[in-house]
Structure formats: C-alpha cells, structure tokens
C-alpha cells in the first residue's frame, strides 16, 4: 500500500497544477507588473497627452453630460462613476487626478472647471470630494470632439461590461500644452507645459513643411510656459530637452526690490517657479534667517490675494536687496530646476521623444482621426441617402406603392412585394448615381430595386410626406446628402484636404483658447551666475586680527588731506585690531590663504556688507576653516579667468621664502579649499601676488631691508605642497612685511643719477630726490649724457614705492633706487628704521593719482591722496602721513585708485 506522502507530482493530481521555476515566475510576473504600470498607469499617450485615469475621468464626464453648459455636479459622483465603470483603483487616487485637472497652477490649460476648494499653491489640500463640484471645461470638449464618430478604438473595461476609449481624439497637442509627470518601473517622465498658441503654431509649421527642423520649431516654441509664470534662465537646457528629450531647465521667481517706505526696501515676489509650494518656501526663508545663513531680512509676509501673488520679504535698513535676493535664489526654491525627461507612449511603447517627434506624432494622429471621422460620416450619409432614395422612389411611384400595400394581407407580404420588383428611378436617377451607393447600385436599365431597409422606411412613411412639400423635403435632403458624400469622398482621396482640415481646426482652437505667454525666457547662459544681478561697485574689504571680515562701499569714505585724524574704519574689541584691507569690485574673485597653507576662493559680493563702524563677520562663519586656522593673506584676482593661463602667482612667507606657480593651479578651488603651500613651523604666508616673466619681485622687511630680483630667478613649481626657495636672508627678529611685483627695467647707476637731475629740472624739485649712496658701486658712479628719447622711456617705466612705518611716517621712492640683485641676499636699505619711525608695516608701488587708506590697531582709518607724500631717497625717514593716537600703531595700508573725487575736510 502506497503512502499519500510518497506520491510524485503528476500521480493523481489535478491537471492544472504544474511545476514552475520560481526564478522564471518572478521574472515573468515582475515584467507583467512593470509593463502594466508603464502602459496603464504612469506614462501619458503622446496622442492625447493623457494617462488612463485622466482619460477615464474626461470620458465619464462626457458620457454623463457634465458639460460647460450644464450645472456643476458633485465630484464624488464623477469619482464613483469612474471607479465603478472604468478605473479599478481607490477613490482617493481618482479624486487627486481630477483635482489636478482643475488646478490652474498645475495645468497650463485646465481641462476641468471646478467649483469649491481645489487646493492652492500653498500646498493646502482640496476639500473632500463630497464638497467640491466639477464639470468639463470648454477646452476639454475639443479633446472629446468626434469620439462618437468612430475616430478612436475602444476596449473592454476591467469587468468586460462596458467599452472605454483607448485614446481620446484630441484636437490640440495636450501633452505639450499641459505637460505630464509620472514614475513608472525603471523609467519616469517629466514633460513641462507649454503655451497653447505657440504649440499650435509649431504644429501648423510642421503641417506646412514636414521637413521643418527642431531649430526652426524652437523659433516658434521658444520654451515651456509654466502656469505659475516666473522666468527661465538661459536656453541651453531648453534646447537640450527639445533636441534630445532630456535637459535641465532653470526656473527663477519673478522678484523686484521695491521701496515700501522711507529708507526701507523689500523684495516682492510676484511669481514662483512651477511646482514650488509657497508656504514651504516661506518656512525655508524663515529657517535660513534663524540660522543666520541669510542676513538682512526683518520680516516675511504673504500679501497674495485674488489679484495675484505677492510675497513680501522686508529687508533691514542696511541690507542690499540684490545681495539678499541672490542669497535667496541660492538657498531656497526661488530658483529651481525642471528636469525635463520627455518620455511618452508612442504606438503603445515608451519612447524618449524630441520636440519634432511630439508634434509629428500628434499631427499623424490628427490625420488618422480626420480620416476615420470622414469615413464614418460618409457611411452615415450613405445610409441616410439610401433610405431617402427608397422614399423618393416610393413618392415617384406612389399610386403603385399604395396599391401593393392595400392588397397585401400583412406587412411582411407588403415589404416583400415592394422589394421583389424593379422600380423606375425617374427624376431621382441622377441622385442615385451621385450618392454612389456601393451596397445597392442601380440596374443597368435605369430601374432601381428596393432594399429591406428602404422597404421598411416606405411602410413607416407618414401620409403627410406625400404632399408636395414633403416630396420637396425628401428631394432637398437627398441633394444635400449627395453633396456631402461627394465632399467626403474628395477628402478621403486627398491628403492635402485632410491636412487643410487639421490646420483649420487647430487655428480655430488657437483663436478661442490660446492665452498670452506667462513665463519669460532670459537670453542668458543657463549657468547664470548670481553676481550678474549684483551691481558693480568698488568695495573696501577690511579684515581684523581676530578674523573678522566685512565690505563697505568705497564711496562711504571721503578723502582727507595728509596728516588728518581719520575716521573709524571698524569697531574692534580691545584684544582685536584691523590687520589689512583692500579695495576690489563686487565681482572680483578673491583667494584667501590661511595660516596652515590652505587656499579658499570667494567673490567679494558674498562677503558680509556692513557699516564702516561694524565689526563684520568671522571667517569661521564664511569659510570652512578650522578653529586654530586663520586667514593670513588675501589676494584679489582678475575677473576674467581666461587670463589666468598666462599669469603666475608668487608666494612670499614671513621667513623670506618665495615660490612661483601657474595661476591656473588655483582656477578650481572647491568649497572646502585646497593646499596652497607647505610651511615650516611658525612660518606664515605674508603675501601673494600675480606676476609675469617680465616683472621683478621686491621684498621688504620690518627692520627696513629690501631686495629686488627678477621673477625668472624663481622657477615655476608644479606642485602646490612644496616649500619654495629663499628670497631674502633675514636678521634675527626680522620678518618680511611686504612683497611687491614691479616692472623690470635695467638702469646703470650713472644713468640713474643723470635721470634724477633731469627729472628735478623738469618738475622744479628743490631737494629730496637724491639717490641713496649706501652702496660702493653707486658712490663712485658719475653722471652721463642721456637722450630725450631715453629720458621719456625711463620716465614712462618709472614706478614709485610707497613705504609706511608703524608710527604713521611714510615716503615715496623711485623704483630705480632699488637696484636689481640676486635672489637670496641680505638686500639694501628700504627706509630708515628708528625710534621715530618704528618698524615698517607696508611697502608697495603707487601712482601719483592714487589714494591710500591706513588703518591702526585701534580701528582708526584715514584715506589720503598719494601726491601729498614727498618723494625722497631710499634711506630717508619720510614724513608724517597718519597722526596716530598714543599707543596706536599703523597695521595696514591699502592703495585706492582715484576716481576724480576732490579732497575735502575731515568728516
């Protein structure tokens, strides 16, 4: 006896059970699921631009007669009918789809006219379906036009009880007009909405010339037209999306800086990017203000009403609207990107389509719809004409027809008698031939045999149709049908007629439903830089010893005469003092070199804007520096980075080391910074400057020594982590306080002496311009003759080196007094260092028209013209430039380019 458990598969088991590999079953089941999601749920059809749920909603409302000329109906009724007949999913999913079709901030051309709360751009949810009401919008009727004229195929619903359309016979390219978004399995779609009028013009251009290029279409359809308006930055993302089907389109809110009351500005946002939640946007702005990532905002309030959107971002009194606005663009959704992924079902298969593909697919679909509609109408016209031919034959032979009917015992006999004989066509013979009925042609002898349909129509004929008026009505209707049939046949024989009809229908839709463009497209590169919205303005950037930085408009500081008391340049604490400042444009990129030899890059406009007396913001809050790391050198760069490949960068450290690199090594500096130079223990980067092979390097020390050598004496280092070479040999307790790049010009000591005498004679100088004679070679040199041309050449190449000491004394000295020597020596005297002058703090080249700004460790600042400082010999003590207060010392000196500002008294 066999145990039940010992039975093998197939032994007495039901025939519908079979062994299946679980791997194969999983593959097949997952593929079936994926294709179901792709085709039946997530992706729109390129022909009508609808997903199945949207198509079923519109068709159900059409079936129920919820048209624009009828009262609104409860949304719950629509949802129930859609779910019960066509869409086997939850009512919430159907209602959400219905709501989106009615939202004017989601759809560029809303297809449903909603009444009630259908949500808002603030993310407010719609009211429940039992509260809201809906009906079809007028433009939706054009999507459903001719659906009863056999223009599209139908399929069984999920239960097999009803028939639903596989696609709607849309008269306009809805997919481009309203866009679409959806996530399927292994693919997704994100198609932006467009302007209906522009899209129709693109279709008309394609109908006129099927060979039209994508570039030609872009001229007609310049880009998306979002329902929320706003602006699009650049055209490269649009062009990529239209040509390849994928592209990133940068959207930016429409915002202006307005003066809302005296001395108080506000940023007013009147349009936000597509699909951005306004309430969430407000919360994000408030969060950034609390975290102090954005400064200058005092209040955010929403003043939107029925007239339109108005989001007011009120600014603090000292805030610059353009800067705050750019920060908002950077950190909030006021600037967003739309990732276009133009995927749609084309012929039942998902495809990535370009702009021309979308238009071509729609136009081909319209050609098919018009052809099918014409064939349907032709069939209907022939059916009606067939009946009318029978009636006209009966009227023409009315006496015989009446006799047959009266003598027949029953209707069936009468019908067979009418069908069993040939009737003379008489006057209607031309009409019968004209309607060209292929199913029931006329006999060769001119007689006409009635069909069963005609015989039944004759038996149902009312006696009133036998009057003269009735006979005329039958004849007139038959003639009209004959003309229609001829026209339908002509349409079907001519593709040009079909395309002309498509063109006419598109033009009618444009005339009735097109609206002006809402989204503005800016003709700028898609990589739109924030500083393009920042006004170009010279800024004074001030840095304190404790690592605080700020920028102040240069116009804030008024020029004073030499020897003035100055004004406060930065509010510092007792343990802090100003160490440096420089003047640069708001668009100038700046490199920040740290005590650990790292470099960071930032634009001037990103530095905190503050009042002259304000302390500024700590570097640790601006740059990703460590707690024990501080910024020791700052170098403004040329704004045009294309020039960087031809320039070099020279480093000088406090210990006298120098190093030269290609400036291009510092083009790419990420947010975290990168290594700039390897330093020894206790060494810091003193200065960094741009140079070329035709320049000289001038190093100056705190104890009054200096050295000048050609730039080529320092080779170009390929690595950024090397230590460099010796530039000057320092004495104990000495350090390099400045490095200046000056023009290279060879001049002999005797030629220099003659040049100085000629210059004094030309300028009328009495004293002070004698060259220093601390060098044996210069002491024995005698004057020589130089030509006028040589004098002009030397005069044009001459530079003047301004040297300032910590006690506020300074002088100007000709660059020709700084002779060129070899790199690595002890150098020569730069300025007398004594108890009166103190140690040197700065030394660099200036022009006669320049102005300088001097800052003390107490925060006092003075701005004065250079031409008021005497030009004297290299070893001279100089004159007082800044009358410093007791206990204060000059810590930084910066050159200011003169812009024609007149000298005024102390402010």
Which residues does the annotation mark as catalytic? Answer: 131
Q: Is 5 exposed, middle or buried (0-12, 13-18, 19+ CB in 10 A)?
A: exposed
The H-or-E segment that residue 352 falls in is strand 349-352
567: enclosing H helix or E strand: strand 567-568
Q: Report the alpha-carbon distance of residue 452 to residue 418 in Å, rounded.
A: 9
For residues 51 and 41, is the Cβ–Cβ distance under 8 A? yes
The number of angstroms, rounded, from the C-alpha of 589 to the middle of its chain's C-alpha atoms is 23
- Tokens representing 591 are 């490199």
Please answer whether residues 100 and 106 qualify as being in contact, where contact means their C-beta atoms are separated by less than 8 angstroms: yes
Are the C-beta atoms of residues 569 and 578 closer than 8 Å to each other? Answer: yes
Q: Which of 826, 560, 548, 869 is nearest to 707 (CA)?
A: 826
Structure tokens at 459: 């038996």
Place of tokens 């001829």: 486
Residue 890, CA distances (Å) to 332, 666, 684, 812, 857 in order? 43, 32, 20, 17, 6
Residues 227 and 281: beta-carbon distance below 8 Å: no
Cβ neighbours for 698, distance < 8 A, ≥ 6 positions apart: 706, 707, 708, 739, 740, 741, 742, 801, 818, 843
Residue 411: phi, psi to the nearest 5? -60, -35
* Cα dihedral across residues 844, 847, 853, 854: positive or negative: positive
Report CA-CA distances (Å) from 520 to 250, 277, 645. Answer: 12, 20, 37
Residue 635, SS3 per DSSP: strand
892, β-bridge pairs: 855
- Helices (DSSP H) in 115-195: which residue ranges? 138-144, 174-178
869 φ/ψ angles, rounded to the nearest 5 degrees: -100, 130
The residues, ordered by sequence, that sit 6+ positions from 695 with a Cβ below 8 Å of its Cβ are 710, 711, 741, 742, 743, 744
Enter the tokens of residue 345: 């079902």
Residue 137, classed as helix, strand or coil, is coil
Q: How far is residue 251 CA from its own chain's centroid?
A: 4
CB atoms within 10 A of CB 133: 18
Please say whether the beta carbons of 831 and 902 come within 8 A: no
What is the token pair recorded at 719? 């690595």
Widest pairwise Cα distance in the chain: 155
């Amino acid at each position: 006896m066999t145990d039940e458990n010992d039975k093998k598969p197939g032994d007495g088991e039901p025939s519908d059970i079979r062994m299946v590999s679980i791997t194969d079953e999983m593959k097949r089941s997952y593929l079936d699921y994926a294709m179901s999601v792709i085709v039946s749920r997530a992706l729109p059809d390129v022909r009508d631009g609808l997903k199945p749920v949207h198509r079923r909603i519109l068709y159900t409302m059409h079936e129920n007669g919820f048209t624009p000329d009828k009262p609104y109906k409860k949304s719950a009724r629509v949802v129930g009918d859609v779910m019960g007949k066509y869409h086997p999913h939850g009512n919430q999913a159907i209602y959400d789809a219905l709501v989106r079709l009615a939202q004017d901030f989601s759809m560029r051309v809303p297809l449903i006219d909603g009444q009630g709360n259908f949500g808002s751009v603030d993310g407010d949810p719609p009211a429940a379906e039992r509260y809201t009401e809906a009906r079809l919008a007028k433009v939706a009727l054009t999507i459903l036009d001719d659906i009863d004229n056999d223009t599209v195929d139908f399929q069984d619903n999920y239960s097999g009880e009803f028939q639903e359309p596989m696609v709607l016979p849309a008269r306009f390219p809805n997919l481009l007009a309203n866009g679409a978004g959806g996530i399927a399995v292994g693919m997704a779609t994100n198609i932006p909405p467009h302007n209906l009028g522009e899209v129709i013009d693109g279709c008309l251009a394609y109908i006129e010339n099927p060979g039209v290029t994508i570039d030609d279409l872009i001229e007609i359809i310049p880009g998306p037209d979002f329902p929320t308006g706003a602006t699009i930055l650049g055209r490269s993302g649009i062009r990529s999306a239209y040509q390849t089907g994928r592209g990133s389109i940068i959207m930016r809110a429409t915002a202006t800086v307005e003066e809302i009351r005296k001395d108080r500005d506000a940023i007013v946002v009147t349009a936000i990017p597509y699909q951005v939640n306004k309430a969430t946007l407000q919360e994000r702005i408030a969060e950034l203000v609390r975290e102090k990532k954005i400064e200058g905002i005092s209040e955010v309030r929403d003043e939107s009403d029925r007239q339109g959107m108005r989001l007011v971002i009120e600014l603090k009194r000292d805030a610059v609207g353009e800067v705050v606005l750019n920060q908002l663009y950077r950190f909030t959704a006021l600037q967003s990107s739309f990732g276009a992924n133009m995927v749609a079902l084309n012929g039942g298969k998902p495809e990535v389509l370009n702009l021309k593909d979308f238009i071509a697919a729609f136009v081909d679909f319209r050609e098919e719809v018009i052809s099918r509609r014409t064939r349907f109408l032709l069939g209907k016209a022939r059916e009606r004409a067939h009946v009318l031919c029978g009636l006209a034959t009966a009227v023409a032979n009315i006496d015989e027809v009446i006799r047959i009917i009266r003598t027949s015992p029953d209707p069936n006999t009468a019908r067979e008698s009418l069908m069993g004989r040939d009737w003379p066509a008489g006057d209607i013979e031309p009409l019968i031939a004209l309607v060209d009925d292929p199913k029931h042609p006329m006999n060769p002898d001119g007689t006409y045999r009635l069909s069963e349909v005609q015989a039944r129509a004759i038996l149902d004929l009312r006696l009133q149709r036998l009057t003269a008026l009735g006979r005329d009505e039958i004849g007139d209707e038959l003639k009209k049908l004959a003309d229609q049939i001829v026209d339908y046949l002509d349409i079907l024989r001519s593709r040009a007629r079909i395309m002309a009809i498509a063109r006419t229908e598109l033009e009618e839709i444009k005339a009735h439903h097109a609206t002006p463009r809402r989204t503005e497209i800016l003709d700028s590169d898609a990589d739109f830089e924030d500083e393009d919205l920042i006004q170009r303005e010279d800024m004074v950037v001030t840095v304190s010893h404790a690592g605080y930085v700020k920028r102040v408009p240069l116009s804030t500081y008024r020029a004073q005469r030499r020897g003035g008391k100055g004004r406060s340049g930065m509010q510092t604490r007792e343990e802090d003092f100003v160490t440096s400042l420089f003047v640069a444009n708001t668009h100038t990129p700046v490199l920040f070199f740290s005590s650990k030899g790292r470099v960071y890059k930032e634009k001037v406009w990103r530095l905190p804007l503050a009042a002259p007396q304000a302390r500024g913001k700590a570097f640790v809050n601006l740059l990703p520096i460590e707690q024990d790391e501080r910024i020791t050198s700052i170098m403004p760069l040329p704004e045009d980075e294309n020039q960087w490949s031809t320039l070099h960068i020279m480093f000088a450290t406090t210990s006298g080391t120098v190093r030269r690199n290609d400036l291009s090594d510092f083009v790419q500096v990420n947010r975290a910074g990168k290594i700039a130079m390897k330093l020894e223990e206790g060494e810091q980067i003193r200065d960094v400057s741009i140079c070329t092979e035709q320049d000289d390097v001038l190093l100056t020390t705190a104890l009054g020594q200096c050295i000048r050598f050609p730039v080529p004496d320092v080779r170009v280092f390929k690595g950024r982590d090397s230590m460099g070479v010796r530039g000057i040999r320092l004495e104990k307790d000495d350090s390099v306080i400045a490095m200046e790049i000056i023009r290279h010009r060879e001049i002999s000591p005797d030629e220099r002496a003659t040049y100085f005498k000629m210059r004094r004679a030309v300028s009328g100088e009495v004293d002070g311009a004698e060259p220093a004679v601390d060098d044996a070679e210069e002491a024995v040199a005698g004057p020589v003759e130089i030509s006028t041309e040589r004098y002009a050449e030397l005069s044009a190449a001459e530079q003047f080196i301004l040297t300032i000491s910590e006690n506020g004394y300074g002088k100007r000295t000709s660059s020709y007094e700084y002779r060129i020597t070899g790199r690595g020596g002890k150098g020569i005297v730069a300025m007398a260092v004594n108890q009166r002058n103190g140690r040197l703090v700065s030394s660099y080249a200036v022009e006669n028209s320049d102005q300088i700004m001097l800052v003390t460790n107490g925060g006092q600042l003075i701005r004065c013209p250079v031409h008021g400082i005497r030009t004297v010999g290299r070893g001279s003590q100089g004159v007082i430039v800044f009358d410093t207060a007791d206990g204060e010392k000059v810590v930084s000196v910066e050159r200011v380019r003169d812009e024609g500002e007149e000298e005024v008294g102390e402010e």
